Amino acid sequence: MAYPTIDFLFLSEEDMIKAGVKNMPECIEAMEEVVKCLNSGDYVMGGENHNSHGSQVSFPKTSPFPNMPLDEGDDRRFMAMPAYIGGPFDLMGMKWYGSNMTNKEKGLPRSILTVMLNDKTTGAPLCLMSANILSAMRTGAIPGVGIKYLVKKDAKVCGVCGPGVMGKTSLEAILTICPDIEEIKVKGRSERSLSAFVEYAKAKYPDVKKIYAVDTVEELVRGSDVISFANTGGTDPSTYPFVKGEWIKPGAVIAALSCFDMDSRDMAETATLVVDNMQLYDAWAEEFPYPSFGANNIIGSKFTDMVHDGVITRDQIYDLGDIIYGKRPGRVSDDQIFIFSVGGMPVEDVAWGSICYNKAKELGLGTSLRLWDKPDMA
């Protein structure tokens, strides 16, 4: 039997940029297709429930072994995040995720990411790609999909909590969907990062009339039509930005890419609760036994805790795909407030990665690498 040679493509970050990884409008369109696949069930992620976010290695605080990595602070982990996504993508892949807050002291991003795309039948590698920008773009684009279906058409004021990469990409998605935004507010921890964000936003969005930093969560939320929580956070909910329902403008949408908190009953009485994929939150509820919120800092895990506590019923949590397909209503009044929880899933990385991979092949980008001429142990 003749065994075929296997080559695969390597795409550097520069290659990915040339392949269009920063194209936010196209990324939002791709993520909408992902949400449709999630809603119809045309996908598989890890675990027996097929909905696991990934397999995570966390490190101990102390160890008798001198070479053992230690938990040096928030977000010290490695994760393998496999997924198959169907629909127009029809591809298998995995994101490999290394994260350490102390990376910044070395001049590195907190997270260093790669994505491998594989043939869905043979498992053969198709492409290994730099994925920091890819992940940032798809993370920002998913809120864009939700905002597309939930926002009031006359949205003028945007608030961003967290002036980092996710803050920038979520803002780009918001302005892609809401081009009439006239005012941008940002809240962060350091004057340096806030000033850098304001300068960045003024240069990128010169038509926006007012761009400025605020000192408190209340200032950020009050008067805003769209709010993105894109800040970093650990496992202690008492440290998360806290929002009171009375601060939220009637008709506003909160897109929670990262951690924020509200009183459960205040949230239930104030807002319609929406998630990007209900099955993901059910899986998290299994993986992080009650109370899930905190162990997982995404607000959708508080939604499932609220079901456990009897504050709401499960059918009071809306799946975005149901809204897109018209199975459930989206906005029914101008005063309706939405809280949209964004969990982030490897199906999104595979989907956006597949589009960039195909574009790279069209443009002749990347470096071809050989796995083997013939497998030695076939």
3-class SS at 140?
helix
Radius of gyration of the chain (CA): 21
Nearest to 155 by CA among 124, 179, 176, 125: 179
Q: Read off the pTM.
A: 0.95
Spatial separation of the C-alpha atoms in residues 16 and 366, rounded to whole Å: 9
Contact 230, 170 (CB under 8 A): yes
Look up tokens 């949408």; give the residue. Answer: 253
Dihedral (CA of 54, 312, 250, 187) sign: negative
Q: What is the pLDDT of residue 1?
A: 59
pLDDT band for position 104 (cuts 50, 70, 90): confident
- As given in the structure block, the two tokens for residue 293 are 């919120």
Within 10 angstroms of residue 258's Cβ, the number of other Cβ atoms is 24
pLDDT band for position 105 (cuts 50, 70, 90): confident
Under 8 Å CB-to-CB from 114, ≥6 apart: which residues?
95, 96, 128, 129, 130, 131
Integer CA distances (angstroms), 327 to 13, 197, 313, 318, in order: 40, 39, 18, 10
Summarised one tens digit per residue, pLDDT across range 144-200 is: 999 999 999 899 999 999 999 999 999 999 999 999 999 999 999 999 999 999 999
Summarised one tens digit per residue, pLDDT across range 302-354 is: 999 999 999 999 999 999 999 999 999 999 999 999 999 999 899 999 999 99
Give the percent of the chain with pLDDT over 90: 88
Spatial separation of the C-alpha atoms in residues 244 and 301, rounded to whole Å: 18
- As given in the structure block, the two tokens for residue 71 are 């938990």
Please name the amino acid found at residue 91. Answer: L
Contact 258, 233 (CB under 8 A): yes
Spatial separation of the C-alpha atoms in residues 202 and 196, rounded to whole Å: 10
Q: In whole angstroms, what separates CA 177 from the centre of its chain?
A: 17
Within 10 angstroms of residue 376's Cβ, the number of other Cβ atoms is 7
CB-neighbour burial class of residue 99 (10 A; exposed 0-12, middle 13-18, buried 19+): middle
Nearest to 258 by CA among 337, 344, 132: 344
Please name the amino acid found at residue 78. Answer: F
3-class SS at 92?
strand
Side by side, the strands of the sheet bearing 157-161 are 210-213, 183-187, 157-161, 226-229, 253-256, 338-341, 272-275, 317-319
pLDDT at 228 over 70: yes
Q: What is the pLDDT of residue 102?
A: 83
Nearest to 137 by CA among 13, 248, 53: 13
- As given in the structure block, the two tokens for residue 204 are 């990128």
Spatial separation of the C-alpha atoms in residues 324 and 149, rounded to whole Å: 7
